[in-house]
Structure 1
């Protein structure tokens, strides 16, 4: 079987008839925008507590460690319910599953405005994680219904960019709400922020329910000829992967198969490490900028957009370079090492605020690029029949980074009075992933199958 690297633009990477390319373009523009926007608000609703902390901490009264637990406890509920949610989606369909998830998480996120104690915040955060569980692996599984394997990696990478645009765009908006709506109609700024950040979710849920099709054969926006062409294209792709029918393995058999595959745990290590960088940023960057001497919350949010903009640049640049040079391994090593060294420099060097922001941006550039590469591995590196279950397992376990990263930052801040030790800890995790990649990962690059 011949192989090539995925080094062509998404919509032109399928070799075949012009009709196939037009069909893929139509599918991309029909389903990707709404899913991207949905993930934008999903990620914003889980991390906007980082900005809310700037007012909530004095209003409610909690320590940095308690805040870290509240931020991270979301991921306990999320991880515990992720696989059951993904299995339920296989039974009732993507449209109902994603709509259910969005309506529930939007409601819980808005209800955060009513919390008065740290225990109430703990309860709402873990419920938010339970209700949001399954969204990401569900969407990644959904992509396997629509896109051939050789373009699925880049489709996934585009989807994941939402995790960076949410804090880059949503952060400044949240900062303006916190600063200038504080006290309006008797509510504090953080209460308005939780309410207004959640409201768009209900509209998007309606769009998904009325416009998303569970499977290609159910899409009313595809003609009979397009459905037949898509079925032929996907069947050909499945045959190349050794799958003669269906969409892959699901259920208990698939879960056991994923647990028995050592490659699953190798991929978890890479995604866990890069996620640690992302969640340390999302939950603690506003606090770090405030400690640099910035008092205005709106300005803090605007300055926080700078590292996230550099993170988006890193994800796009490093992943594109990886595709062009037909290499994954050393691009991951470069990105993770660059992030680790930059985080150490932020903690160690006494430099002006703008240089610290640049160093934080360089760190974001590195771990986001490495993260983008690490998420291209599962759909091509795992046994295709086990990929849906493997992706869910990887997402579930690596999600624990969302608890670990804010927790280690909070504990070390309470112990030392600053963020330096926490940054060193995140850097150490990234360096461990580099060692695993160099000495334990297969030395071949990750290939994708050639379309014919």
Structure 2
């Protein structure tokens, strides 16, 4: 059927209005399910921080063993991230998303069965392997639906799930652990892993039923809308660097591997996210040590720093965009976070400690959002796409480093202080690296046309 849409007869206002309507329709259909899936992805990744409060004494696991178990997830995640994304390109998004979510849901639920540290290591490693590829896969999938000039805000919306998970998931985790403790003879932490894993299996099946691999397969788009979408995406692709068409070639991947800028960017991301994962895995324990016994109350207090993290992501990111500046915003944010984290170790007051930890969370999240605005601007040519993927993979190893550093420090010294100081020092080094190794002209953001 011949499309009734003829762009040559439209005014610019008509075209702009039709474009907005089209992409709003796509966003409302595609984003909600993926957003909810990512909330549970992050929740299943970090709920071990709450489970720890009952699990360690129940299983007799040491602090350093817990730290290794929490972090080993990211070893499997980093190793299998790129292979999983390549598989998506071969078998399609629906099958890939369903495979990822069902398998990681089963692995997360199986955590309820562990009885030794070694079993916990294996399950956490499998969880990382199964979940690998979800975030880059989603980013790739969204690139089928949205042009480059809309992907920033779409990705930003998706990243809010990493804050929704601890803000809302924390109290839910606390209620499950206390309310279900002893039911059917099982500890609350075992119920936690089971009940928070079941929804992601259901969502995985829903993705298979409700998503489609490509826009041209969407039955909920009319033929006119498909034609308009195809034209807009083709026009957007024509404006991109032609070298990115070979982004997955061996030459492009090798170019990224030998580009020193990639490793500097990976270190900047690693450092800014280090504090965030320290929070996700250890904040409940920190609050418990300040005299809060109830797990439900611990989860409610934890909402305060995580809410400040969301505020930092929004305010610092907006300020950086408005001023079109990255270096100053990154350095101030990461140094502020490091200072607040270090000062929090000197306080025995619950109120003051929460205030300092909230300031640290604000700085960490602000640095992360600024950090992710840099690679697409700084990396150019054929190494850009593979380079950005490598930055993500290497930087995600912070999730292994953060709990390992704190767990080892706590076991050796009996306190969190040494681990917090080590993390803060790494952040200071990152600020120095930004100032000395990232050329100022490379971080200049052009004005909008």
Structure-2-length-normalised TM-score: 0.92
Show the counterpart of 1:102: 101
**Quick check: 1:376 aligned with 2:369?**
no
Show the counterpart of 1:127: 126
Show the counterpart of 2:6: none
Structural RMSD (CA): 2.0
1:382 and 1:159 map into 2 onto residues whose CA distance is 23
Q: Is the 8 A contact 2:290 2:348 kept in 1?
A: no
**Quick check: 1:277 aligned with 2:275?**
yes
2:184 and 2:384 map into 1 onto residues whose CA distance is 51
Show the counterpart of 2:36: 37
Alignment of 1:263-412 (within 5 A): 263-347=261-345, 349-383=346-380, 385-412=382-409
Q: Is the 8 A contact 2:147 2:236 kept in 1?
A: yes
2:367 and 2:73 map into 1 onto residues whose CA distance is 24
CA 225–383 in structure 1, closer or farther in 2 if over 3 Å, else same = farther
1:334 and 1:221 map into 2 onto residues whose CA distance is 46
Moved more, 187-196 or 438-447: 438-447
Structure 1: runs of 5+ lacking an equivalent: 1-13
Q: Is the 8 A contact 2:325 2:445 kept in 1?
A: no
Alpha-carbon offset, residue 115 of structure 1:
0.5
Q: Which has the higher contact order (CA 8 A, sep 6+)?
A: 1
Alpha-carbon offset, residue 79 of structure 1:
1.0
Alpha-carbon offset, residue 448 of structure 1:
6.9
Show the counterpart of 2:10: none
1:232 and 1:387 map into 2 onto residues whose CA distance is 25
Instruction: Give the number of equivalent residue pairs.
Output: 436
Alpha-carbon offset, residue 120 of structure 1:
0.6
SS in 1 for 2:242: coil
Structure 2: runs of 5+ lacking an equivalent: 1-12
Deviations 1:11-41 (A, max 9, x none): xxx9962211222222222222111111110
Q: Is the 8 A contact 2:305 2:358 kept in 1?
A: yes
Alpha-carbon offset, residue 231 of structure 1:
2.2
Alpha-carbon offset, residue 290 of structure 1:
0.6
Moved more, 136-145 or 409-418: 136-145
Alignment of 1:239-278 (within 5 A): 239-243=238-242, 249-278=247-276
2:125 and 2:353 map into 1 onto residues whose CA distance is 33
Deviations 1:312-341 (A, max 9, x none): 111011111112222222211221111011
Q: Is the 8 A contact 2:93 2:141 kept in 1?
A: yes
1:288 and 1:187 map into 2 onto residues whose CA distance is 26
Q: Is the 8 A contact 1:149 1:449 kept in 2?
A: no
Show the counterpart of 1:9: none
**Quick check: 1:213 aligned with 2:236?**
no
SS in 1 for 2:264: helix
SS in 2 for 1:220: coil
